[in-house]
Amino acid sequence: MYMTATAHALVGGTIAAALPGNPSLAITLCAISHPILDMIPHWDFGIGWKKKNKILLFLQAFGDLAFGVIVTFLIFGRMVDPFYLFLCILISESWDILQMPYLLWGWKYPFSFFYEFGHNTNSRASLPWGIITQVASVGGIALALRTLPVH
């Protein structure tokens, strides 16, 4: 849980909308977008996760994920096949989803790999700058993908 799930969902939705006829490229881009976005300094609910109550951590993560999925469907739901959109969102979120069993229950294999990778590539920023960088990142990606000639 490094960049907010909402940011990852929006990027997944943007990729799905930009590449409706090329699911193999879109799914690949969704998968690699996650660690790339996590390298940009940002804030999220996972900061300080070791000191948080596991129920609070789960509720914050789930709330962020649900909010991101709902907002992404509101923006892109009429433009993109719903199953395809959901798949792109799921793939863009998968790095964080695969960390949750480790964070919540201490299940190491294979979940600790995703935590360790994210921990080593994550770049943090405090509020409000950490949210500003996310808005700028998601907006920049949306603008860049919108200009692609492959719609």
Structural domain boundaries of the chain? 5-95+121-146
Which pLDDT belongs to residue 149? 65
Per-residue pLDDT band for 97 (boundaries 50, 70, 90) equals: very high
94, with CB counted inside 10 A (0-12, 13-18, 19+), is middle
* Distance (Å, whole) CA 77 – CA 89: 12
Q: Among residues of the chain, what percentage have pLDDT more than 90?
A: 56
Q: What is the pLDDT of residues 61-79, one digit of tens each?
A: 899 999 999 999 999 999 9
Per-residue pLDDT band for 150 (boundaries 50, 70, 90) equals: low
Extract the tokens encoding 20: 């409706």
CA distances from 24 to 72, 87, 88, 125, 150 (A): 20, 11, 10, 33, 14
Q: Which residues contact 151 (CB under 8 A, 6 or more apart)?
A: 18, 20
Which pLDDT belongs to residue 1? 43
> What is the average pLDDT across 118-146?
86
